[in-house]
Structure 1
Amino acid sequence: MQTATPTDRDDPVDTDAVIRVKDLSFRYPGTDRDTLRNVDLTIARGDFVAVVGGNGSAKTTLCKTFNGLVPHYWNGDFAGSVHVDGQDTWESSVAELSSRVGYVYQDFQNQLVRPTVRDEVSFGPLNFGRADHRERTEEALEQLGISHLRDRFVWQLSGGQSHLVALAAVLAMRPDVVVVDEPVAELDPARAREIYLRLRELNEQHGITVVTIEHHAEFIAEFARSVVLMADGAPVWHLPVQEAMDRHGDLEAHGIPAPDAVAVSAAVGARPVALDVPSAARVLRPHVRPGRTGAEPEQTPGPDHTLGSSGAPAEVVASLRAVEHGYRSVSGALTPVLQGIDLTLSAGERIALVGTNGAGKTTLMKLLTGLIVPRQGTVTVDGVDTRSRSAAQLADHVSYLYQQPQRMFLKDSVRADIALFPEGRQVPGAHAMVEEVIDRVGLAPFADRDGRTLSGGQQRRATIGIGLAMRPQLLLLDEPTSSLDIRSRDDVTGMLASLSESVRCAVVATHDMELVASWASRVLVLDQGRVLADLTPRELFSAPEITARARLVPPQAVRIARELGLEPLPLTAAALRSRLGTGTASFLVPQPAAGAVPAPAGAAGTTLEER
């Protein structure tokens, strides 16, 4: 097992350990193998650590030992020791540890316990008797740019806003260690970067040790100082970020996609690889061939969405006319969410619905399902006015897959959940159709498992299976790739690409710009409840005034191409490599760090120490 010193780009990390994990093993009740296996890990005080690995690699279980949730809340067979700032977590309660370790959970909605945002953020400092609780509350709200939400009820918040409130409540405690599980889940791209900038500020200016559980390698490369790669319940290695990215092959093999900057710089033989857009552009500039245009772009439908491929009028699947909608607060005031929406959704379209948190994406999708009806205007789906039918009746025409997959599981097995709609509607040949859908989404080995026990990627596939079994004309998906590792994300993206065989029109609400670039044929940009733009992915990423206003950040490949002055813009790393005339496989080959011996998957972790 190799050891290494966690090096910042400027300053070394203090080697004084704030977290020490020794010979740690843990097994959940009722399971036949350890979830954590003989873990040895040291995190230095003041480090900024990214814990990465595929779904099911035990990243979250490991981090829950830092604040005592394992084993005090999630009990089981616990062996070994975990010390935080010298305090043994086995001998300390979760309450005692909470003043040292702040934790924002992946299911962050469950940690919001107070009625208003201000109440929630001040809850911890008040309970610990902090005399400066008001100052702490306002400081945390300001740090995350959500001061305007202070008097809002938490149930009024969007998913991204709720995530920010949960993080603010942690920051108000001013802990020594902050652990954030999937910090950018459900956040718009610009705010996701702001979260990491705030975490960096906490780390560098206040000396807080930051631990993130992350799948987005772009943020890892730019912000982390060291990386722990988890597999099969134990660290494979713990390396400084540059060495970790140089071993991009290891990361790829464990479900962590190489950022575009890493991938394209590795493809031209750069060593060390580039970690961000400016450095990647510098590396690639000598490889730009004057006049080279490469293959013509992916996903370039015509701008007229009312025409089909033959030039004839496209078949209308759904429409919204003069739609206005909003929600009433407890005081009775109406808060507008959507204003003046006029849209036509046509057969054959793959539509990405994008915009900042609170722009109205989820509300628009719920209007299309009939779960809610507009306060003004008309919504029709498959020719049916949503006011004239209940949501249950409209389910024959439209299927909505929730942002949280667990909400889709009502029965005790995946097969039963997929069969629920067709069998309940007595669809002819329902049994055969259910088995076909199960095979199509690749869940035959898990068909008799409760969907709530599956991994994140498997849950997403199961929900798509539920939607397909409904045979909808219109399929709506809310953040289908959120919090997935690369294999699961690719599985879901691949299934989305094949939906044209059985779904006339698909709409995805997403913050995932990689998904927009690689899948969508049309992009609807919402901003403050209105349609800011209706265009193709390439048109969107070529319009900085639109992306800036809607808080969208183009994929790294697009930003690198802009730096290089390439036109038309390639939308993916593969397209960029093609334009540069580089190979497509070199960056996939595991590259051991200089002087390092690769550790076997699942081997015990290592301490970052001076060589």
Structure 2
Amino acid sequence: MTTPDAQPAPEAPRPPAIVVKDLSFRYPGTDRDTLRNVDLTIERGDFVAVVGGNGSAKTTLCKTFNGLVPHYWNGDFAGSVHVDGVDTWESSVAELSSHVGYVYQDFQNQLVRPTVRDEVAFGPLNFGHADYRERTEEALAQLGISHLREKFVWQLSGGQAHLVALAAVLALRPEVIVVDEPVAELDPARAREIYLRLRDLNERHGITVITIEHHAEFIAEFARTVVLMADGAPVWHLPVQEAMNRHADLAAHGIPAPDVVALSAAVGADPVALDVAGAVGALRKHVRTAPRGEMKGADGEQRPAELAPSTEVVAAVEGVTHGYRSVGGELSTVLDDLSLKLHAGERIALVGTNGAGKTTLMKLLTGLIVPRQGTVTVSGIDTRSRSAARMADHVSYLYQHPQQMFLKDSVREDIALFPRGRQVPDAEQIVERIIADVGLTKLAERDGRTLSGGQQRRATLGIGLAMRPSLLLLDEPTSSLDIRSRGDVTAMLEALSDTVRCALVATHDMELVATWASRVIVLDQGRVLADTTPRELFTRSETTGQARLIPPQAARVALDLGLEPLPLTAAELMAWLPPETLGEER
């Protein structure tokens, strides 16, 4: 019997969100552990970024949190993982889904129901929750997408579909959410929107958020702690400020510092800046009134944006209107009276929001589809007059997802497929040279589907180059790659000028636009909103705002500092700083 003065017993402290002890895991058929003796604790309410190069086992680690490893991806499993106090070995994927929600990198594959409302309700309904309607409306409201509830999932933009996949996870009210590559395949503004939503869930609702991320600028701005993975184990787990102060560690593992970190470190800021405002404050007192000479690339060479283009037309789009029929039969216009000319020697970045018509335009250029109105010509050939198979003699299209390009059992056979099929003279010598050019000699006998992301991009470039096209089209070639692999792809794109007359890249990667492109075509609602150089584009805030483009960090710092001509990279911006201010990076 308690007395009036007796105090209630204090509640027992809840365990950390995730505790990993002595965890090792090996996939069947491999000769070494993918995860090696991992010890990691993630506290409740943390916002954790898991970073590391391709192949560092980031995704495998996170799949142990929801039980996919070892209950779906089986193998040799040792050690323990506890989520919200639950031992994942003794639980199941279904049981763990109420503790851990997981949004996969290929989030479109998570959408299994016809409408948004059905999709979000699917989990709680199947778990028998009587309040599934309330859970559905709550999740939609949390992410600000209640207005989409009656939409069919195939009608959604990439950003909207990503939010719906996240809402479907939230409807089960998990303690932890894991999001694998949250900004892959999204335009810059929608990428930032996803992170803002994740921060809101973390701060307002107390959900522990874990992201697997390659884009260090989002890590610096939004994460609270950072786990650096290498060779199957954490190198360290640190608060974000300390992690960014160790930018040399990150760079050594394929994660170069964000521009704001590199720039502030270059002028001796301690701690380094984590966002644009911080970098502007660190640099303002050091900026000179004029740069040292003309704007140059990081290698000291004149940027392609400043080089005069050729007048030779490789491809032309004249008065093209194209669209698709909806389920109801009405025509949805994607491209509207579009006219463009692509010239020899140009490096063209095709940018715009998800759904702006970029992929449709590239498919028209290949002849995979023909326009409802207007004409498309490549090398002077009207695409209506030849099959897509014959147009492949002149134009090559590399898909956004590299796996779609692999048809044979080895990289060598995939690269050889076109020249052998066309009975090209010296086909074998061509294949060997291209394999060497893309740096895959040691992997030539491997199935392309078993390669890492960066290696797959190299292999698909080899497939495209073997077709010896006049026009090379690439859809999101740097998506989901670590910085080192993105750099490899950029370097290969640089080298294409000796082989390909014109290259066009559809991309959301503004760093690629800034460092590689000589011309930028901005599509918006099926029309050309701007056709200009990267430097000119990033000075036009009205255009970038309408197209939902966010300039690279260095350009945003330079805009705030009022620098002209506008630096596009950290290397260019440093030309505005007196040499005596640039100390050794810490």
Q: TM-score, normalised by structure 2?
A: 0.93
Rounded to whole Å, the distance in 1 between the matches of 2:228 and 2:306 is: 44
1:516-547: per-residue Cα shift (whole Å, max 9, x none)?
00000000101111111111001100000000
Paired with 1:449 and 1:148, the residues of 2 have a C-alpha distance of: 47
Matched, 1:347 2:344: yes
1:110 Cα shift? 2.5
Q: What amino acid does structure 2 have at the position aligned with 1:336?
A: T
SS in 1 for 2:285: helix
Superposed displacement of residue 577, structure 1: 1.3
Report the equivalent of 1:73.
72
Match of 1:490? 487
The amino acid of 2:381's aligned partner reads: V
1:212 aligns with 2:198: no
Distance in 2 (CA, whole Å) between partners of 1:398 and 1:378 is 16
| Separation (CA, whole Å) in 2 of partners of 1:580 and 1:136 | 54
User: Given the superposition, is the C-alpha separation of residues 25 and 405 from structure 1 closer, same or farther in structure 2, using an over 3 Å criterion?
Assistant: same
1:524 aligns with 2:521: yes
Amino acid at match of 1:264: L
Offset of residue 80 of structure 1: 0.3
Aligned-residue sequence identity (percent) comes to 79
Q: In structure 1, which of residues 386, 389, 407 is the aligned counterpart of residue 386 of structure 2? A: 389
1:556 corresponds to: 553
- The question of whether the paired residues in 1 share the 8 Å contact of 2:15 and 2:85 is answered with no
Residues in 1 aligned to 2:504 and 2:145: alpha-carbon distance in whole angstroms: 29
Q: Which residue of 2 aligns with 1:190?
A: 189
The answer to whether structure 1 residue 335 and structure 2 residue 332 are counterparts is: yes
The Cα offsets for residues 354-394 of structure 1, whole Å up to 9 and x where unpaired, read as: 01111111111111111111111111111111111111111
2:209 maps to a residue whose letter is V
1:442 and 2:439 equivalent? yes
| Matched-pair contact (CA < 8 Å) for 1:106–1:181 | yes
CA distance in 1 between counterparts of 2:296 and 2:133 reads 54
Which residue identity lines up with residue 546 of structure 2 in the other structure? R
Query: Residue 511 of structure 1 aligns with which residue?
Result: 508
The answer to whether the Cα contact below 8 Å between 2:27 and 2:76 also exists between their aligned partners in 1 is yes
Q: How far off its partner does 1:116 sit?
A: 3.1
SS state at 1:575 partner: helix
Structure 1 contact 267–582 (Cα < 8 Å) conserved: no
1:63 aligns with 2:62: yes
Cα distance in 2, alignment partners of residues 522 and 477 from structure 1: 15
The letter for the 1-side match of 2:37 is N
Contact 1:574-1:584 at 8 Å conserved across structures: no
Q: Secondary structure at the match of 1:17?
A: coil
Correspondences of 1:8-27 after superposition (within 5 Å)? 17-27=16-26
Show the counterpart of 1:431: 428
Distance in 2, Cα, partners of 1:115 & 1:348: 45
Picking from 449, 453, 477, the partner of 1:452 is: 449
Question: Which residue pairs with 1:605 in the alignment?
Answer: none
SS at match of 2:284: helix
Change (3 A) 1:85 1:583: farther
Q: Work out whether residues 395 and 472 of structure 1, in 8 Å CA contact, stay in contact via their aligned partners in 2.
A: yes
RMSD: 2.0
- 1:398 aligned residue: 395
Instruction: Assess if the C-alpha contact under 8 Å between 2:295 and 2:572 holds in 1.
Output: no
TM-score by length of 1: 0.90
Q: Deviations over 1:202-233 (max 9, x none)?
A: 00000000000000000000000000000000
Deviations 1:471-526 (A, max 9, x none): 01110000000111111010000001111110011110000000000000000101
* Residues 577 and 583, structure 1, Cα contact 8 Å, conserved in 2: no
- Cα drift, residue 151 of structure 1: 4.2
User: Residue 575 in 1 paired to residue 563 in 2?
Assistant: no
Q: Which amino acid aligns with 1:509?
A: A
> Within the alignment, does 1:318 sit opposite 2:320 as a pair?
no
Q: 1:273 deviation in Å?
A: 0.5
Which residue number in structure 1 is paired with residue 176 of structure 2? 177
Residue 240 of structure 2 corresponds to which residue in structure 1? 241
Give the paired residue count: 569
Q: Secondary structure at the match of 1:287?
A: coil
Higher RCO (C-alpha under 8 Å, 6+ residues apart): 1
Helix, strand or coil: the match of 2:362?
helix
Look up the equivalent residue of 2:357 and give its one-letter code.
Answer: G
Q: Distance in 2 between matches of 1:140 and 1:381?
A: 48
CA distance in 2, matches of 1:64, 1:584: 46
Rate the CA distance shift 1:545–1:65 in 2: closer, same or farther, 3 A: same
CA distance in 2: counterparts of 1:524 and 1:160, whole angstroms: 21
Secondary structure at the aligned position of 1:173 is classed as: coil
- CA offsets per residue over residues 448-486 of structure 1, 9 Å max, x none? 101111111111111111100010111000000011111
Q: Secondary structure at the match of 1:449?
A: coil
Return closer, same or farther for 1:37/1:586 CA change in 2, 3 Å cut-off: farther
Q: Does 1:264 align with 2:295?
A: no
CA offsets 1:422-452 (integer angstroms, 9 cap, x no match): 1111111110101100110111111110111
Contact kept, 8 Å, 1:295 with 1:579, in 2: the verdict is: no
Gaps of 5+ in 1: 1-13, 592-611
Aligned to 2:253: 254
Q: Residues 464-475 of structure 1: matches in 2 within 5 Å?
A: 464-475=461-472
Letter in 1 for 2:442: P
Query: What is the alpha-carbon distance in structure 2 between the residues aligned to residue 20 and residue 526 of structure 1?
Result: 47
> Greater shift after overlay, 378-387 or 144-153?
144-153
**Cα distance between partner residues in 1 of 2:75 and 2:410:** 25
Question: What is the alpha-carbon distance in structure 1 between the residues aligned to residue 104 and residue 340 of structure 2?
Answer: 37
Q: 1:373 to 1:148 in 2, by over 3 A?
A: farther
Inter-partner Cα distance in structure 2 for 1:371 and 1:28: 39
Distance 2:445 2:227 in 1: 34
Offset of residue 300 of structure 1: 6.0
8 A contact 2:306–2:518 mirrored in 1: no
Aligned partner of residue 352 in structure 1, secondary structure: strand
Distance (Å, rounded) in 2 between the aligned partners of 1:232 and 1:119? 41
Q: Match for 2:479: what amino acid?
A: S
Q: Aligned ranges for residues 224-239 of structure 1 at < 5 Å?
A: 224-239=223-238
CA contact (8 A) 1:295 1:578 kept: no
- Contact map agreement 2:366 2:397 (CA 8 A) in 1: yes
State the partner residue of 2:7: none
Residue 576 of structure 1, CA deviation: 0.8
Closer/same/farther in 2, CA of residues 143 and 363 from structure 1, 3 Å limit: farther
